[in-house]
A and B are shown apart, each in its own frame.
Chain A
Amino acid sequence: MAENEVWIFAEQEDGVLNSVALELTGKARQLANELGAKVGALLLGHHCEALAKELAAQGADSIYLADHPALRYYRTLPYARVICDLVREHKPQIVIYGATVVGRDLAPRIASELWTGLTADCTDLQIGDYDDPFTEKHHDQILYQIRPAFGGNVIATIVGPNHRPQMATVREGVMKLVPADNHRPFQTIHVTPKITDAEEVVEIIERHRTEREVDLRKAQIIISGGAGVGSKDGFDLLRELANVLGGAVGASRAAVDAGYISKAHQVGQTGTTVRPRLYIACGISGAVQHRAGMQESSKIIAINSNPDAPILSIAHYAIIGDLNQVIPMMIRAYRGH
């Protein structure tokens, strides 16, 4: 029955779902609708059953719940064991994971054990047909796994026509959250994990967690600065605009590498992917690696003194000028109303 399912790995820590788990569920729902399939969510942990309804509200039909003391904290081997066993038993056609530190540790281990394909860090997933030039076989409705490659300089579409499940990790923040429907019916399938001593060899001795300094993924308005900001102090003006508009401060890799601001603020392929309602790029030239992390923003304003800066051509509103003059104008204009 589950051969007709699209699965997501519902990453959680300390009883809180990673937001990417909800993003994946919404995407899986969309793919499953196209395929006429159901959505299954893999929820592993200890005392985490309460999270099932959050996943259901985003579109999961079945929650495969593996609740076991050995699964309390993420460890590669027990998690891989449970998921490999579930895949072998139920044969889903697609399994997707968040491209988080955990997802990127877990998914390849599983892909190797199952001898199936895996595409890392996808920014989009679609369903489509594929004609295999090698076997000359036609494949109906398979998973297009779309990702930037080569340092973000190209976009590749990858398929795995001959192996199941089709698997991918998906970047955080790129799939839109769908509105929660708290009345969707769902079933919880209780799984009995078969974890042996062989999977228990790694022990977590210490866990250290720090609060995220800034969570750009949740910000609806982002004021981002690049090399053109010129200095650490230069970011004060961006912070002021962010305060006035109720937004967060982001940065390009150039600004982070120059030491103007910490890495937690970095937007782009090697930083955070964002899709806010409004993105204001200040003194950012718009390297491919930066654009890959922000071009899905609903509205983009670019302020740059260089009329040839690539960012200006992808912006909805291009302002050619000195950010030190333009930003105060924005603050005045916003306050004036």
Chain B
Amino acid sequence: MKTVSLNLIVLAKQVPDTKNVTGETMKEDGTVNRQALPAIFNPDDLCALELALTVRDLYGGTVTIMSMGPPRAVEILRDALCRGADRAILLSDKLFAAADTLATSYTISKAIAKLGMPDIVFCGRQAIDGDTAQVGPQLAEKLHVPQATYVKEVRLEDGHLRVTKDVENGYEILRIPMPALLTVTAGIQPRPPAVKRLLKYKRLKTIFDLQSELKQKYPEMSKEELERKTEEEARAFAERDLLIPVWTAEDIGANSERIGLKGSPTRVKKVEGVILRGGESKLIPATEAGIASLVQELKAGHILS
């Protein structure tokens, strides 16, 4: 039933795998050493991608995957293309660094404005590094579109979205006009990367890849020459559909007061490692007598009645 052509955008984040924090990945001051953790596709964002691909497969259209992050975040874009996305864009600029959720949503809204307003924006419910779940609703506001969060299912019904979303003790079905933004809840099984696409997209490059490769190949080359050669290469890759575009703050026309640390109203005052309280523990022998005296003590202290 491919009657409409939907323009779909999926936002994804590359995150440190916080579920695998071990002793070795903790620094001496008790904070986490991000570099020591593997970088992965944020799990909820994979669910968002899957839901977008399902919608595209049902109704027709294109899925664009977009990520804001350092150059290496291109890894998840490549992964998304292999799973079926049609197009990828990386937002990367040192000026974006240390953005909080508000500055991030502003930045992404500018990139979407450059791209043209899609019919649906899909985000994961939350990212495992911050667990804030804020960028989705903030972006919806910046784009002036309605939102639905914790979405499990979406269908098209006479030009509107019919969305099933989780609420505290149950679920609701909403009717929402397009364009709209949906944040997708965990629990949707993403499709695996397709082998044919893996072969095609492993040659994908960004401008960063080309730059560093040329630098390595021609260490003596002047800066101007290197720039010229990089541009030449980039054009050749783009012609073969093998270049992932990288957009900077300038490309998207972002106000420098609104991005990165400068554009972030929140500040991290202090970060502490979680330390075990310890020290006040009382060892109770695992014997009838030991347990009986513990129960007695709890009763005396009105902990047990």
Q: Which residues of A contact B (CB under 8 A)?
A: 13, 18, 76-77, 80, 100-102, 104-109, 111-113, 115-121, 130, 132, 134, 144-145, 148-163, 201-212, 221, 245-246, 269, 277-278, 288, 291-292, 295, 298-299, 301, 303, 310, 312-322, 325-326, 329-330, 332-334, 336-337
Contacts and interface: CB of A to CB of B under 8 A. Distances in A.
B266 A298 contact: no
A210 to B, nearest CB: 5
Interface in B137-170: 137-142, 146-150, 162, 166-170
Nearest to A292: B274
Interface in B223-282: 261, 264-274, 276-282
A278 B280 CA distance: 16
B291 A329 contact: yes
A153 B24 CA distance: 13
B148 to A, nearest CB: 8
B77 to A, nearest CB: 24
Contacts of B274: 148, 152-155, 288, 291-292
A108 B269 contact: no
B179 to A, nearest CB: 11
Nearest to B20: A151
Given A202-B175, A278-B298, 17 more contacts: A76-B147, A77-B146, A101-B149, A113-B141, A115-B102, A145-B266, A157-B271, A158-B268, A209-B167, A278-B304, A299-B298, A312-B281, A313-B276, A313-B278, A317-B294, A333-B295, A334-B295
B208 interface: no
Given A108-B134, A159-B267, A160-B267, A117 B281 contact: no
Chain A binding surface, main DSSP class: mixed
Interface residues of B, number: 82
A330 to B, nearest CB: 6
A215 to B, nearest CB: 10
B101 interface: yes
Rank and list the top 4 A-B pairs by shortest CB-CB distance, nearest first: A321-B286, A151-B18, A117-B265, A112-B141
Contact of B283 (A121, A160, A162, A320): A320
Contacts of A102: 167-168
Given A112-B142, A132-B267, A150-B32, A205 B174 contact: yes
Interface stretch (B63-71, B113-121, B124-132, B198-206): B124-132
Nearest to B171: A208
Contacts of A278: 298, 303-304
Contacts of B264: 117
B296 interface: yes
Chain B binding surface, main DSSP class: mixed
Contacts, number: 243
Nearest to B100: A117
Nearest to B275: A155
A105 B137 contact: yes
19 contacts: A105-B149, A108-B101, A108-B134, A112-B141, A115-B102, A120-B130, A149-B129, A150-B21, A155-B271, A162-B265, A202-B175, A204-B174, A208-B170, A209-B170, A291-B274, A310-B276, A318-B283, A320-B286, A333-B294
A159 B265 CA distance: 8
A210 B169 contact: yes
B172 interface: yes
A209 to B, nearest CB: 4
Interface string B83-104: 0000000000000000011100
A130 B269 CA distance: 8
A31 to B, nearest CB: 17
B285 to A, nearest CB: 8
Contacts of B1: none
A120 B303 CA distance: 33
B195 interface: no
A318 B284 contact: yes
Contact of B147 (A109, A118, A317): A109
Contact of A210 (B30, B170, B176, B280): B170
Nearest to A133: B267
Contacts of A329: 286-288, 291-292
B26 interface: yes
A149 B273 contact: no
Contacts of A315: 281
A295 B272 CA distance: 16
B215 to A, nearest CB: 34
A332 B274 CA distance: 37
